[in-house]
Homo-oligomer: A and B are copies of this chain.
């Protein structure tokens, strides 16, 4: 790389317009309607014509090879135009209907599923896990792979009651959509931070560390004349926020780390307001490489939902209709004390009416 080039800063991203397919530019802001051609294939029509979209899965953790495979298909059949979706799928854009099948064939050759549209399970929003993050209580890419291996048919078809959004996050920071997904898998620690008093006084700011704890479990203390912190283990619920601000307080514990399963969240305003996910299964062990307990639980939820919900009823809407009592009955998951909220708005979750199912 030549070093005599002018160093530019703060130029921001390139203008999107140069990346828009001509038909999209022509119809910009004037679209009339869309149609679903097949699972994973949409058409959008405006006064200036129609654009066809083929949506392909991606592992998201993608090599330059993978991306080049994608750009090649775009070059071959889409005049070079492609995009990514907010859920990390790849979308191929063409104004030639006849190219749709060619794109699908090219993808099939690469063993890349096409789908994720309408009432499908789309790609999984996820995070770094053991691949890149210091905080992770589990792996993310691995969990996505094993879960989607199980659910791939729901990606390539559109026969669920409604859109079903999955998410995986590897720790309580939830870098993604765990708190508002139909089904979410969340890595959890289950033991308090192990404090390294030899490094803490140098690495961590005590007031920040103390303030980081949602439950005020951390107090300053003095060991051998140096200010460090101690954790009231009865008050610790293993959230890991202290570790985020203080590297000397790791929580990782191979024996006890694992995952929890959450259900019933949604984002859209369609019909019902956005909903948070709620706890379904408090703990399943980390059992790599294929986490069978986790895939079983997720499969169970999807199956029960598919069999029981009404058309266009999201998972959370369905549970709201049939009651949580019934949800636990149908899935066979155990309802435990862990399901009872005890954080700051806990009281708002207590059942404060007689309206109940028996």
A-side residues, CB < 8 A to B, are 269, 273-274, 344-345, 347-348, 352-355
Contact = CB atoms under 8 A, between A and B. Distances in A.
Contact of A273 (B269, B344, B352): B352
Given A273-B355, A274-B352, 11 more contacts: A269-B353, A269-B354, A269-B355, A273-B352, A273-B353, A274-B353, A344-B344, A345-B345, A345-B347, A345-B348, A348-B348
A357 to B, nearest CB: 13
Contacts of A347: 345
A331 B2 CA distance: 72
Contacts of A354: 269
Contacts of A353: 269, 273-274
A220 B344 CA distance: 28
Contacts of A348: 345, 348
Copies of this chain present: 2
13 contacts: A269-B353, A269-B354, A269-B355, A273-B352, A273-B353, A273-B355, A274-B352, A274-B353, A344-B344, A345-B345, A345-B347, A345-B348, A348-B348
Contacts of A344: 344
A227 B352 CA distance: 42
**Residue of A348, A353, A354 with most partner-chain B CB within 10 A:** A353
Contacts of A355: 269, 273
Nearest to A269: B354
A51 B354 CA distance: 29
A92 B160 CA distance: 61
Contacts of A273: 352-353, 355
A273 B350 CA distance: 13
A95 B163 CA distance: 62
Nearest to A347: B345
Contacts of A274: 352-353
A353 B274 CA distance: 6
A344 B344 CA distance: 9
Nearest to A356: B269
Nearest to A275: B353
A348 B269 CA distance: 17
A316 B354 CA distance: 18
A141 to B, nearest CB: 31
A15 B222 CA distance: 67
A352 B275 CA distance: 10
A348 B355 CA distance: 21
Nearest to A267: B353
A232 B347 CA distance: 28
A56 B298 CA distance: 61
Nearest to A273: B353
A142 to B, nearest CB: 33
